[in-house]
Amino acid sequence: MNPPPPPSAVPAAAHEIAGWRRALLWPFGLLLRLWGRSLRFDATPEDLCAYGKRDEPVAMVLWHNRLFLAAEIVRRYRGGRPAYALVSASQDGAWLSAFFSLAGVGTVRGSSSRLGREAATTLIETLRAGHDIGLTPDGPRGPCYELKPGGLIVARRTRAPLLLIGAEFESAWRLRSWDRFYLPKPFSRVRMRAEIVPAGELADRDAAAAHVQARLRAMNRD
């Protein structure tokens, strides 16, 4: 089931996948959902406690090359809470948005280069409505593992905590993309990590950005 729509929509300037192209994605989306469910996630009790924080909405933060795991993280760890991912307004982002919708994750379209202000407003409204959001702070074009501090604005304005996500892969393919995107092999193990950064630690933007980048790099050792 798809999550309910966010409180407001990004303008139609964002590229969309519709008609027969979207229909072609359905079997592909089913394959990827089954693929994700075959993965064996390992997490410590401390990690599970962070993943399971449900007393308030969170902003989930993960590197762009771990996006394959996003829908499965929501399904396994977030208790069915509606979640929305920030996805580029570009044509490439349209395909990712369509896949997320098939996997049960909503999307907000925009980036630092296109529709940024509208997307940020929608993400703020989404958090205030009680829903989780997802951010890839080095996306959509990199550099890989370099956090853009603008991604923290939404959490700071809503005083939402960050849920930092880490993943180490037992066996995976890596694409020849700018971020060397990870595709974990079916039935392989993934060591999952998670940390909560309270809203109170985000007051100083530059210090918060440096801290979050350092923690994400430590949690995702390639």
H/E run at residue 9: none
Give tens-digit pLDDT for 1-60: 556 656 544 444 566 667 777 777 788 888 988 999 999 999 999 999 999 999 999 999
Is the bond into 140 cis (omega within 30 degrees of 0)? yes
Structure-model confidence comparison of residues 16 and 171, the more confident one = 171
Reduced to 3 states, what is the DSSP secondary structure of residue 206?
helix
pLDDT value of residue 115: 45
In degrees, rounded to 5, the angle at the alpha carbon of residue 137 between the alpha carbons of residues 216 and 158 is 100
DSSP 48-75: HHHHT--SS--EEE--GGGGGGHHHHHH
The answer on pLDDT for 113 being more than 80 is no
Give tens-digit pLDDT for 61-110: 999 999 999 999 999 999 878 899 887 777 777 777 777 777 778 888 77
Give residue limits of the domains in the chain.
42-219
Q: Over pLDDT 70: what percentage of the chain? A: 87
pTM listed for this prediction: 0.87
Beta strands 189-197; 162-169: pairing state: antiparallel
Q: Give the span between the Cα atoms of 61 and 195, in whole angstroms.
A: 10
pLDDT value of residue 60: 96
Per DSSP, helices labelled H in the chain are 19-38, 45-51, 70-77, 91-103, 116-128, 153-158, 205-219
